[in-house]
Structure 1
């Protein structure tokens, strides 16, 4: 900024803006600096503890504080320069105001740099937070996939168990059918044994009758021989012989029928025994 000499400023003496107003402007600048420092501390606190929304709000607050500081700095600069035009001041006062202006400008630059650093830190923390959320989502997705795979594996195991149980039930039913068949075979065998026993008894009875008939035939022959020697009629002897022959034939036929019945029963029992 170009500075004017006292001679050039001697003709301007209006008292619209006294020097105390410059002090007020400096106080406003100091208040704005304190606000910016508080925003720095608040932004740091938010960066450590808050979420992405809080970081965005802290960045907005820091930007507003920076704007207020710039406005206060401009007002202070204007307030410092106005006394030079409104009154005749000495060179030391002008140097004092210039130094104050430089200090305010340096303070504003420092605050701006701090705000930029804070904004960069907040952006970096926001990026880290987003990365952490992405990693967390990926982990959750992986866990969900693992749970789904476990559920599929459990379903497969359950299906296998159900199939095994069905197979066991089928085996039990087959065993029950086999047991029933065995019981039926045993009953058939018992019936066949009873039939064989009855047939054997019948055969023995028929044999006994045949033996009795043969014995009676021999006895009749002996009687006939004895009677022929005593002079019995021939016709009576022939009748007795015919009766004996009929009895022998009947016994032989009964014996043959019994043997055929026993053979048929044995043939019927053979397939059942093989089963």
Structure 2
């Protein structure tokens, strides 16, 4: 996952709305959004390493992962970061307890940011600093730097989410339009992350479409009073591969 934005409104009819893009090489084998047979997890699946980048559980949990872009810090022998998402979704520990324990061994992995929700708390972990962040109600976002770092595409997505008409439920079409924005940033606004300038420029768009690499999935997750609605639109080098949507029913809050 390379770009995530959310609106966290705990007392509203939709406590959490999350939108996200996963960018990856087209050659990396992937299964689309589906219920996993061996666990109560709804997610896509990375068939190369077995984990996932974004998922929910039948118990009302969510986890999403972004990689921290630092080529110099990458280790070929590090375990897959995608397993951290599925491990949280399988667990029953609180978001805080899970991230606190994980912070102590975060250095075992290549750098990452992990966002988790347990139905009550929305928290983040920055692995480079072994730092757990309690996210406050309102709009937030994370990409391939620390939480809330104002990269151009991060600010653009967050501002776009904020600018939608004041209404109870923005449409899927409005939200996907934000995720599908192909505009790149000006060179003067680009971060310096250690990759060549043409690649840095291409990665500055919310939606990426390069010959071998690009946005593989655009996702919308809505936590509502009695259900979670999860939509995923898939892509490959030829374009859209279709849209999947699932609804997970839950007991009403407080019931």
TM over 0.5: no
RCO higher in structure (CA 8 A, sep ≥6) = 2
User: Per residue, is there more helix in 1 or in 2?
Assistant: 1
Which structure: larger Rg?
A: 1
* TM-score, length basis structure 1: 0.17
